[in-house]
Chains A and B, each alone.
Chain A
Amino acid sequence: MKRKPRLLLISPTATFFGRSADHQKFKRECREFQFFDYTWTGFAAGLLIVGALTPPSYDVRYIDENIEPVDFDEPADLVALTGMTAQADRMYEIAAEFRSRGVPVVAGGLHANLLPHEVMRHVDSVCVGEAEAVWPELLHDFEQRQLKPMYRQTSRTDMRQAPMPRYELAQRRYYPSIWVETSRGCPHSCRFCAATIRYRDKLGYKSVDEVIREVELVRDRWENPYILFSDDNFVVDRNRTRELLRRLKPLGIKWSGQSDVSFYKDPDILELMHESGCMTMLIGFESVSSDTLNGIDERNWKYRALSTYEEATKVIQDHGIGVYGAFTLGLDTDTKDSFEATSRFIKANYIAGIQVSCVTPFPGTPLRDDMAAEGRILEDRPWSDYTVFDAVFQPKNMTPKELEEGTLRIYRDFYNREFSLKKTRHFKAIYRNLVKKETERKGAVAASGRSMV
C-alpha cells in the first residue's frame, strides 16, 4: 500500500529569559520565579493550525524541540518550521539538516513574516501571512513538485472560517498551559511591536460559538487545562468580550489573557472575568515615564493612559484578577533611574507578576529603522539574542550591559521572599474579601430560594 506523505511540523528551541549567565542563574535559583515559567510555557499554536489545514491524506507529526530532540533521520517528505526571531538561528540549522537529506523545508511564523527574504535563503519556501491564506496553495504546489520560493497572503483571512487547530498533535506532550486564539491583531501600533507589524490593519475575530467549541475540546483533551488566550488584546470589542465571558462561565476553566489597561473601567467585564475563571491578565504598561510613553504608539494611547495605571491595577486586582505588568526599558528617554522608578511602581501597586524586557529592535519595526539609521544596532549579536531580555542595541543613556543588569535588578527586587510575603498578604486580603462576598451571596440565594439579579 502506498504510504502517506509525511509532514513534520517543528518548533525550534527557544530560550526563555535572557541568555546571559546571570539571567540563567536567576531563573534556575529563584523559587518565586518558577511560577512564571510554569504559567507562560506553551506550544507553537501556528503549527497546529497548519496541521488543521493539511488534508487527512498526510501523516502529520508535531515536534517541539523544547521538549524533545529532532531526529533528522526520521522519515519525512516535507518539513514546516515556525519561529520567532530568537528561534531563527536554530530554524536555519534545522532547515540545513533536512535539506542536506533531500527533504524540502518551508517556514512561516513571526520571523518569516518580518524578514522573508532572509528566511528564503535558508528554506525552499517561505510563507508570509496567515497560514489559512497560503498553506493550501503551498501544499498543492508541493504535490506537483513545484514549490515556489515565497507564498504571500493577498487577502485577509476571515477568522470566522479559520479551522480549529489540531490540538491532538500536541496532546501527547505535557504543557502546563494551552493556547487558544480568539482574535488576531491589536488596535495599538507600538513602535517596537513586531506582532502589530504582522497583523497591520487586520483585527479579526473567531465567532464566540467557535471559541467555546475549542475551549470545550481543549477541556476534553487535557485534564484541567489552564488556558492562555493568545490574543494580542483580549478586550478590544467589549460586547463580544462580554458574550464570550458569559459563555465561558459554565465551562469551569482557569485562564489568563493579554490586553491593554482600559477594561478596568468596565465593572461587568471585571466581574465576568473573575466568575469565568480569569486568574491573571498580562497588561502592556510598557513604561511608567510620561516622556517614554509620549509617542510610543501611533495614537499616543498609552501616554494618555499612564495617569490611570495605578487606579486600574487596584481595581482589576480587587476583582481577584492578578495583573502581570509588561514593561519595556531602554528607550531613548530611559535613564539609569528608570529601573528604580519602574521597580517602585511595581512594588507600590503589588503587581502580581512582571515581564520586564529590554526594548528590542525587531526587523520591520519603526524602532529598528531609527536605530539602524543611527548605527546603534549591535550587528554582532545573533538572532538568538533577540530574546527581549538581552540588549541587542546601543541604548542612548546607558550601556547594553547596564540595560540588561537593570532589568534583571527589577526581577530581583520583585521575585524574592521579602516582597513575595508582602504581596501574598495583599492578595490574601483581596481573596478573603471575595470569598466572603461569595459566601454571603450564596447564603442570600439559599435563604431567598431564588437567584439574586
Chain B
Amino acid sequence: MSEQQLDQAAEPVFRTIQKVISEVARIAPEDILLDNAVTGIQNVDSIILMEIVVRTELELDIEIDEGELFDLHYVRDFVSLCQRLTDRTT
C-alpha cells in the first residue's frame, strides 16, 4: 500500500477506490498507492478521472462535489475525501 498507513476506518474506502481505478485505468491494483499523484497515475487523464469519480460515487453511495476535486493532489486526498463523505452518509 504505502509507507504511511491509513486510518483503519479508511481502509475499505481505499480498497474500493483501488478497485475502481484498477478497472477504469486498467492498472494492477497493487500499483495504485496512496502517495501516487492524481495526474501521475498511469493512464489517468481528466476524462478517465471523471469515470473514476462517477464509479466511486456509485460504489460508495456518495456524491462528490466537483469543486473538491480540484484540491486533490494524491490518491490519499481522494481517499480522505471519500471517507469523509461516507462517514456523513452513515
Contacts and interface: CB of A to CB of B under 8 A. Distances in A.
Interface of A: 34-35, 38-39, 176, 223-224, 226, 252-254, 279-280, 320, 322, 352-353, 417, 420-421, 424-425, 427-428, 430-432, 435, 439
B70 A421 contact: yes
Contact of B48 (A34, A254, A435): A254
Given A223-B42, A226-B43, A352-B46, A431 B51 contact: yes
A421 B50 contact: no
Nearest to A423: B46
B55 A435 contact: yes
Contacts of B55: 435
A33 to B, nearest CB: 11
Interface string B48-70: 10110111011000000011011
Contacts of A38: 39, 45
A365 to B, nearest CB: 32
A421 B69 CA distance: 9
Given A280-B47, A435-B54, A224 B27 contact: yes
A428 B39 CA distance: 18
Interface of B: 25-28, 31, 39, 42-43, 45-48, 50-51, 53-55, 57-58, 66-67, 69-70
B90 to A, nearest CB: 22
Contact of A431 (B25, B27, B54, B70): B54
B26 A224 contact: yes
B36 to A, nearest CB: 13
B27 A425 contact: no
A427 B67 contact: no
Contacts of B42: 176, 223-224, 226
A425 B66 CA distance: 6
Nearest to A280: B47
Given A279-B48, A280-B47, A352-B46, A420 B54 contact: no
Given A35-B39, A224-B42, A432-B54, A279 B26 contact: no
Contacts of A39: 45
A428 B45 contact: no
A252 B26 contact: yes
A280 B47 CA distance: 8
A431 B50 contact: yes
Given A223-B27, A223-B42, A322-B47, 14 more contacts: A176-B42, A224-B42, A224-B43, A254-B26, A254-B43, A320-B51, A322-B46, A352-B47, A353-B46, A417-B70, A421-B66, A424-B66, A425-B66, A428-B50
5 contacts: A279-B45, A279-B47, A280-B45, A320-B51, A435-B58
Contact of A421 (B27, B31, B67): B67
Count chain A CB atoms within 10 A of each CB in B27, B31, B50 and give the residue with the most: B50
A34 B37 CA distance: 13
Nearest to A436: B58
B3 to A, nearest CB: 22
A430 B51 CA distance: 9
The 3 residue pairs across chains A and B that have the minimum distance between CB atoms = A431-B54, A322-B47, A424-B66
B25 A428 contact: no
A253 B26 contact: yes
Nearest to A226: B43
A39 B48 CA distance: 12
A252 B26 CA distance: 7
A440 B23 CA distance: 18
